[in-house]
Amino acid sequence: MQGSQIFSDPITRVEGSARIVFVVDGESVRAYYQVLEFRGFEKLAVNRHIEELPRIMSAICGVCSWSHHLASAKAVDMIFGRSPPPRAKLTRILANYIQIIDSHLLHLGIMAFPDLIYWGDGRRDILRLYRDYPEIAAAALKARSIVKHIENKLGGKFQHAALAVPGGISRGLLKDDINEILKWFAELRPVVSTLHKFFDEHIKNNKKFREALKDNRFVLRGLSMGLVRDGFLEFYDGVLKIVDHNGKVVEEITDSLKYAEVIGEGIADWTYAKLPYYRRSNLRILDEASTFIVGPLARLNVADKVYGNAAQSEYGEMIDEAGGKPILNILFYHWARLIEILHSVDAIEDILHTHERELLEGDTMDLRETFRPEGVGILEAPRGTLIHHYRAGENYITTYANIITPTTFNNSSINISLNKVCSRLAKEIKAYGRPEPETLSIVESIIRAYDPCNSCATHCLYLNNMELSISFKLIVINSNGEVLWRSG
Amino acid sequence: MWRPRIVAFFCKWCAGAAAEVAGVSRMHYDPSVIPIIVPCTGRVSPEMVMHAFLNGADGVLIGGCHTPNDCHYIAGNFKAFKRIYMLRKLLQQAGIEPERLRIEWISATEAVKLVRVVNEFSETIRRLGPLGGKHA
Amino acid sequence: MRLGVFVCHCGVNIAGTVNVKKVVEEALKMPGVVHAEDYIYLCSQPGQELIAKAIKEKSLDGVVVAACAPSLHYETFAKVVEGAGLSRYRYEMVSIRELDSWVHIDKEAATDKAIRIIAAAVAKLAGDRHYDMIKMNVVKKLLVIGGGIAGITAALTAARMGIPVVLVEKSPTIGGKMAMLSETFPTLDCAQCILTPLMAEVARHPLIKIYTLAEVEDVTGSVGNFRVRIRVRPRGVKVEDCRLCGFCERVCPVQVPNEFNRGLNKRKAIYIPFPQAIPSAYAVDFEHCTKCGLCLKVCPTKAIDLEMRSEVIEDVVGAIVIATGYDLYPGSKVSEYRYGIQNDVIDSLQFERILSVQGPTRGEMRRPSDGRPIKRIVFIQCVGSRDVNHLPYCSKVCCMYTAKHALLFKERVPDGEAYVFYIDVRASGKGFEEFVKRAQEEAGVQYIKGRVSRIYKDRVTGDVVVEGFDLLLNREIVIKADLVVLALGMVPAIDRGLVEKLKIAVDQYMFVSEVHPKLRPVETAVPGVFVAGAAQGPKDIPESIAQSMAAAAKAAELLLRGYIEKEPIIAEVDRDRCNGCRICISICPYDAIELSEGRAVVNEAKCEGCGACTAACPVGAIQLRNYRNEQALKMIEAVLTVR
Amino acid sequence: MLKLAVIPGAICGGCDVALASVGEDLLKLLKYYEIVYWPTVIDRRMSELEDIDIIDVLIYMGGISTKHELENAKKLSAKSRIKVAFGTCSVYGGIPGFNTLYSPLEVENFVKRQSTMHLQQDRFGLPEVVEYMAYTDVIEPEILIPGCPPTEKVLDQFVKILIDYAQSRRLQGRHILLGDPESLCRSCPRKPKDMSKIVMPGIKRLYEVKLDETKCFLEQGVLCMGPVTRAICNHSCIANNFPCYGCGGPVEINSDSGLAMLSALSSLFMVDKEKSLMETGLARELDKVADPIGYFFKYTLPKSYLSRIIKMRKGEKSAR
């Protein structure tokens, strides 16, 4: 491969915020998942008042702004040496659960199902899905509006919320707030069961999907990472546990400040996203064993128990299907999302009923002040582990900010998974001058499984199937930059 | 050759009067300082200062009455001080030399001080060089 | 827009450094300018006619005059402009003399600067609008602070013009320092004979309300409508019932130094400062009264009430005259003269009390320390005054009252000797020089030009030894005297609190600053507040009286007209854009902005047009008339545009 | 059917979700408009958009941070009748607007310094980053929708305008800035009934004070951008006991709301203690604002006098 390639127009013309480039060089083929978006939030956070970061950093992502808001708040709490009183902490946990449900329902209902139902037959069309199963479309949109109301109630705005202050929350929930949330939440239950029933009937017993679950190409022998608390699946506050592909626990980080000893951040010239890797291994970036898997599947790999019997039974069924833990076939992500929805729904139910008094009474803010120069907030966003790491100087001014988003973690894993499909694609290009539809849909299923959120522009709600084009570019070039084929 | 372009907001009652006394006593100071007489330094808004910088001023000088009691309008000078102090912090943080913006208390009898301040300020601006305005 | 620019040469004052022709040329290029011309002396009659003619012929609707300082001729040209039928608010004057030609040598730079100054004025003028003068009714009542001769004269002059007056005096009686004097120069007529009739007239005058033992606690509002709070301390005696019988004074056990006699003798806790005091009643000195109650028993008319409380009077007046008078510079500060009664080194007011028949010595020339008759007396001039370490200024009246003291002394003790140590004798009033000559020649007072270096008491003989130097004879001189009188300098008696409440300007010695010695001698910078008497600066009684009458007359000009016209250049609210965020009302130092129906509205009477609110308004809803935000920005652009 | 295209610039995705979750209104729009391009919602390719010669309504979301986005914005806007700047990033630059303080190179080096390993490889046409700017720095849109993200209030207005345009083919006015032309103080629930003066006790940072749920924030010493921010929401953050950060931008399009609030706040605090504190005391209080740029200019930095002066200093002419 020569050094810098001068590329013809198609490749430089970009669409959406990510694309895949396959570089065919004779027999060998390399896949590059290029993130084309440039945000620069780590630089713009410097010099800001540290206590204002939770609302500034939530602008990193409009879909999961709550996770950034809360993770940032945790880091800021640490810098002030404050721990939010129970009422504040519980409200934040409730908000984070709502975010998890919202994102998973949206993804499962609108993106995952078409991939899974029409598995591999190349004609996956959301409009067709909705004609065949209208109740799914209704359920998905209903979920969306319910969550919007609850989020408005918690943070004033359903995106870029105004809730977290250093050491707590700006306003505690009142009795009628909770009643309203309960009313909306009651409407959410049927939506969840619709999707659950649909998943049981149409996904689980879809023969092709079951075979794919066994297909080695979808396996990634990476390191599963996620929060656990007393063995339970945890989203807000817990131990960051890392399990290798054999199931051996390699790390259990209790002090969030220590994350950097374990997680390294590489960069490459062909993408604006970082490429995290496991520093304790002597391997380099983009080696399968040094790459992290985060998100629903990873969380369930590191957790032993989930909450609520619906989730528990699904969890058991999934493990049997996968033949034991850790589950390394990335298509199980979809199944894991369903389990996490069930888990979260029961968890919220529990908070709203048994802990109602705790939510209604007590202090909302801890005003103590023991300045610590550094703070790291780790929590589980819908798509996986999210880390906000700040340092503050005198007068509480931010001097350093480092953010590792779940998509950044998955950035490395996507690259590796794609490289497993390269050889087949190269053969088809050589034979027919274009990739088989089946290969393309596999490529897209991989992306869909990880559910990357490159500032979420790549979320495609509707897929029309003209020529199997996918919303982001797939381009195949040879070693001197000529385009052999491009999608759409 | 570059000549500094400096706008000076003098309040009518103190700095403005001192400027007149400086004239009557035939004192001399740098001609590149153009005076704009305002009723009170309290009338000078940060927007006016920034508008001056944006339109080619290399320095802005504000002359008002001594705190705490000289201000003809009681507390206009305090308002000016607070706004200019914060504005200088803003400029400094953005990498613009705060010395380009200066506020001084000059009573009607202190023509000597006015001349000293004007000459000092224009010397500072010469040292700092052009802000990068149109005529740079 | 048809604007005219007029540039003055002012002889060579401007044209000497500024190329006036080029300025006129450039002015014609400025937006909206249709006419520009220069003239040698715009302020002259032909100059003024030139402007008026241009306005009419070219039907100009705006004029910029670039000449000397507005503080000199703004009014002159305003009248010209108005004479030509144009509003004075469509006219701007800028100084290219004091601010430009006089302060720069580099001709080219000065010309460039003149052009920019004019360009800014043209930019401002483009946005200027006409406003009618603001008319506000005026409360026809005058407040006079200080009951000395100045205050009394001002009150009487105003009352005689039909203006109700509130006279506020800190001590128990009006009369001030003049009441302490024996005779007054140069006519030597008795102070009491001039003063007491005036005091009586003030007491009797139906339009004058006197508050003694009173001080102005707070002043709010503005000219025409000053809301005043006066705190009146308890007198302890019901004025109408007191028959001045003096029984109470006799039984009162408390003895304290008598401040009316400057401490030369004692007085009781219940006392009357001097027999002709107005209000003519006794007063209780609550600081020293032990409330033993003896006086209560003896008072025939039960006029005494020791439980009286201080009260606060609220009133609204249209104008205020400050007549707070003077005090002597503290003798203790000039330590080398050993000032003090026991050293027989006293100040001039104390000597007045010794001269006075009502004084502690009943007018006899006896020393305060041991009562020894005074044969030889030394007067020392300029004690504290004309001295950079104390009072750099001359207190003006000491030379005259010392000559008077010496003359009166020689009348009382024909064979006595009087010496006067002086630097220069300043006797500049009518009949003053002759008066001093009379003292020197007829009364044989020895005037010694020189400074006194040391004074000490000779323990044995009891004499006060004065060592000085006689410049004319160029030799030291030592005088063994019975008494030394220091002519201490005059300092203002006004206190810092009143100055801040009235927001008036004072100089570094705390004398009240008049707006302009010639143009507006009795007015302070605060409209509606006037000053008279020693409060404004050292002066003698005739000048104080003249000034008080002037102050009363100026106040009457305001009060009798019934309304005042106020410069309409104040803040203005665009009510659609105002969101009632309350920021402007919170920072206005004059509380001149109120909120009605949730939006700001400017109180025309109170707003002084400083503009602090306009720069703070978050959405620019409140603007200063003819100094709007867009005008200011245009001015800045005009000043900075590259020629 | 009129053609409507949604072009994502440098976005966080919030505007996509906000527009998508407009609910039934979206369906109403679909009666008049055909969505020809909206990657988040439908899968049309850029190539198809290029074939279309006139786009009736172009909705541009987000700021501009890469050369490609800049060309894309100019190219597509050139052939659009109604250009809509959707969201505070597009209208004022938004929070990413802080990037205008640094050159893109500075930021790339900053990221490189933080990384622990660097793969030297080809860029494969990775788009080049330019100086961050708002959409309105490049194009003069007919409709401007502030909000981060735009609220239901402004979106309702927007849908009505679009439907009205579809029926009458006319727009009232050239530069329509949505939201109400007043600041949040106009109808703020925290204003005291008696409209008394604001007594601001110095400057308190958010961490110093437990906020009272009824009192005006300025009276608690905490900065609230309400006085300078356009009323695009119904006080949602303020109702959640959180001071407004000004995401609605200034009340009028080209006023510098950050600078106005800087002046208002400085004038307002400790008015009653000025003479006792004097300069040193007042300065000590002002020094608590250690980051004036972040404090006053969270959403509007690219449109501020400050950033125009910084640009002037760097010699570049401002983009438009």
* Higher-confidence position of A272 and C474: C474
Instruction: Give the residue-averaged pLDDT of D253-264.
Output: 95
Residues of B in contact with C633 (CB under 8 A): 47-48, 51
pLDDT score for A289: 85
What's the N-to-C CA distance of chain C in angstroms? 23
CA-based nearest distance D267→chain B, Å: 5
Nearest Cα residue in chain B from C570: B39
Q: Considering CB atoms only, which of D269, D292, D315 is closest to B132?
A: D315
pLDDT score for C90: 96
**pTM of this structure:** 0.79
Residue C144: name the closest of C156, C154, C130 by CA.
Answer: C154
Count H helices and E strands in chain B, helices first. 4, 4
**Best of D297, D312, D314 to disrupt the B interface by mutation (most B CBs within 10 Å)?**
D312
Per-residue confidence at A473, pLDDT binned at 50, 70, 90? Answer: low
pLDDT score for A145: 83
Which chains touch D (3+ CB pairs under 8 A)?
A, B, C
Report yes or no: C499 and C506 within 8 Å, Cβ to Cβ. yes
Residues of C in contact with B20 (CB under 8 A): 69, 71, 95, 98-99
The residue whose two tokens read 């450094």 is C17
pLDDT score for A123: 52
Distance of alpha carbon B128 from alpha carbon B120, whole angstroms: 12
Residues of D in contact with C620 (CB under 8 A): 255, 260
Distance of alpha carbon C394 from alpha carbon C398, whole angstroms: 9
CA angle A427, A429, A434 (to 5 degrees): 140
pLDDT score for A444: 73
Tell whether omega for the bond before C253 is within 30 degrees of 0, i.e. cis: no
Residues of C in contact with B46 (CB under 8 A): 615
Neighbouring-strand partners of residue C5: C36, C64
Q: Indicate whether C145 pLDDT > 50.
A: yes
**Best of B79, B82, B87 to disrupt the D interface by mutation (most D CBs within 10 Å)?**
B82
Task: Give the CATH number, domain containing residue B24.
Answer: 3.40.50
pLDDT score for D45: 67
pLDDT score for A119: 65
pLDDT, tens only, C310-324: 999 999 999 999 999
b/e per residue D239-263 (b: at least 16 CB within 10 A): bbbbbbbbbbbbbebebbbbbbbbb
CA-based nearest distance D168→chain B, Å: 41
Strand, coil or helix: C221 = strand
Q: Which CATH number fits domain D2-103+130-177: 3.40.50.700, 3.40.50.360, 2.40.110.10, 3.30.360.10?
A: 3.40.50.700
* Alpha carbon distances (Å) from A447 to A444, A454, B104, C39, C52: 5, 12, 64, 85, 85
Q: Which residues contact D143 (CB under 8 A, 6 or more apart)?
A: D82, D83, D84, D85, D158, D161, D171, D176, D178
**Cβ of C95 and B44 within 8 Å?**
no
| Pairing state between β C62-67 and C3-8 | parallel
pLDDT score for A63: 82
Nearest Cα residue in chain D from B46: D263
**Cβ of D10 and A42 within 8 Å?**
no
**Cβ of A62 and D107 within 8 Å?**
no
CA-based nearest distance C635→chain B, Å: 8
CA-based nearest distance B115→chain C, Å: 9
CA-based nearest distance D261→chain B, Å: 10
Per-residue confidence at C630, pLDDT binned at 50, 70, 90? Answer: very high
- Considering only A424-433, C348-357, D216-225, which range has the smallest mean pLDDT? A424-433
Q: Report yes or no on chains A and C touching (3+ CB pairs under 8 A).
A: no
CA-based nearest distance D186→chain A, Å: 19
Q: In this complex, is the C-beta atom of B50 within 8 Å of any C-beta atom belonging to chain C?
A: no
Instruction: Give the residue-averaged pLDDT of A229-245.
Output: 93
Mean pLDDT for chain D overall: 89
**Cβ of C618 and D260 within 8 Å?**
yes
Report yes or no: C59 and C31 within 8 Å, Cβ to Cβ. no
Q: Considering CB atoms only, which of B51, B86, B131 is closest to D289?
A: B86
- Across A144-148, C566-570, D35-39, the highest mean pLDDT is recorded for C566-570
pLDDT, tens only, A255-275: 999 999 999 888 887 777 788
**Cβ of D241 and A456 within 8 Å?**
no
Q: Give me the domains of chain C, ranges plus CATH numbers.
A: 3-130 (3.40.50), 142-233+310-325+493-559 (3.50.50.60), 327-491 (3.50.50.60), 570-624 (3.30.70.20)
**Cβ of D242 and A56 within 8 Å?**
no
Per-residue confidence at A14, pLDDT binned at 50, 70, 90? Answer: very low
Per-residue confidence at A439, pLDDT binned at 50, 70, 90? Answer: confident
Q: Indicate whether D320 pLDDT > 50.
A: no
pLDDT score for A378: 96
Residues of D in contact with C598 (CB under 8 A): 186, 195
Domain count, chain B: 1
Residues of B in contact with C636 (CB under 8 A): 7, 36, 48, 51-52, 55, 57
The residue whose two tokens read 């044969």 is C375
**Cβ of B67 and D260 within 8 Å?**
no
- Considering only A52-61, C502-511, D276-285, which range has the smallest mean pLDDT? C502-511
pLDDT score for C616: 96
The residue whose two tokens read 């996986």 is A384
pLDDT, tens only, D103-146: 777 777 776 666 666 666 676 667 777 888 999 999 999 999 99
Task: List the 274-313 stretch of A: residues with Cβ below 8 A of D.
Answer: 274-275, 277, 279, 284-286
Please give the residue range of the domain that contains residue B121. 6-128
Neighbouring-strand partners of residue C273: none
Task: Specify the DSSP class assigned to residue D187.
Answer: G
CA-based nearest distance D254→chain A, Å: 23
* Higher-confidence position of A434 and D178: D178
pLDDT, tens only, C584-609: 999 998 889 999 999 999 998 889 89
% residues pLDDT > 90 (chain C): 87
- Considering only A352-366, A416-430, C538-552, which range has the smallest mean pLDDT? A416-430
pLDDT score for A488: 54
Residue D301: name the closest of B45, A44, B89 by CA.
Answer: A44
Per-residue confidence at A457, pLDDT binned at 50, 70, 90? Answer: very low
Q: Report yes or no on chains C and B touching (3+ CB pairs under 8 A).
A: yes
* Higher-confidence position of D129 and D220: D220
Residue A92: name the closest of A103, A80, A105, A83 by CA.
Answer: A83
**Best of A2, A7, A11, A15 to disrupt the D interface by mutation (most D CBs within 10 Å)?**
A15
Looking at C68-206, which runs of residues are DSSP E strands? 91-95, 134-137, 142-145, 165-168, 183-184, 189-190
**Cβ of C608 and B52 within 8 Å?**
no
Q: In this complex, is the C-beta atom of B96 within 8 Å of any C-beta atom belonging to chain D?
A: yes
Q: Considering CB atoms only, which of D263, D282, D291 is closest to B93?
A: D291
Q: Indicate whether A27 pLDDT > 90.
A: no
Q: In this complex, is the C-beta atom of D275 within 8 Å of any C-beta atom belonging to chain B?
A: yes
Q: Considering CB atoms only, which of A274, A279, A488 is closest to D45?
A: A488
Q: Considering CB atoms only, which of A59, A285, A364 is closest to D119?
A: A285
Mean pLDDT for chain A overall: 83
DSSP characters over A49-81? BGGGHHHHHGGG-SSSHHHHHHHHHHHHHHHHT
pLDDT score for A4: 31
Instruction: Give the residue-averaged pLDDT of D158-163.
Output: 93
CA-based nearest distance A88→chain D, Å: 13
Report yes or no: C450 and C470 within 8 Å, Cβ to Cβ. yes
Instruction: Give the residue-averaged pLDDT of A108-119.
Output: 71
Instruction: Give the residue-averaged pLDDT of A42-66.
Output: 91
Q: Is residue B134 part of a domain?
A: no
Looking at chain D, which runs of residues are DSSP E strands? 2-8, 33-37, 55-61, 64-66, 80-86, 117-119, 129-133, 143-145, 176-177, 180-183, 230-231
b/e per residue A336-367 (b: at least 16 CB within 10 A): bbbbbbbbbbbbbeebbeeeeeebeeeebbbe
Residues of D in contact with B83 (CB under 8 A): 262-263, 266-267
Give me the total of CB pairs closer than 8 Å, taking one residue from chain C and one from chain D: 67
Per-residue confidence at A1, pLDDT binned at 50, 70, 90? Answer: very low
The domain ranges of chain D are: 2-103+130-177, 189-289
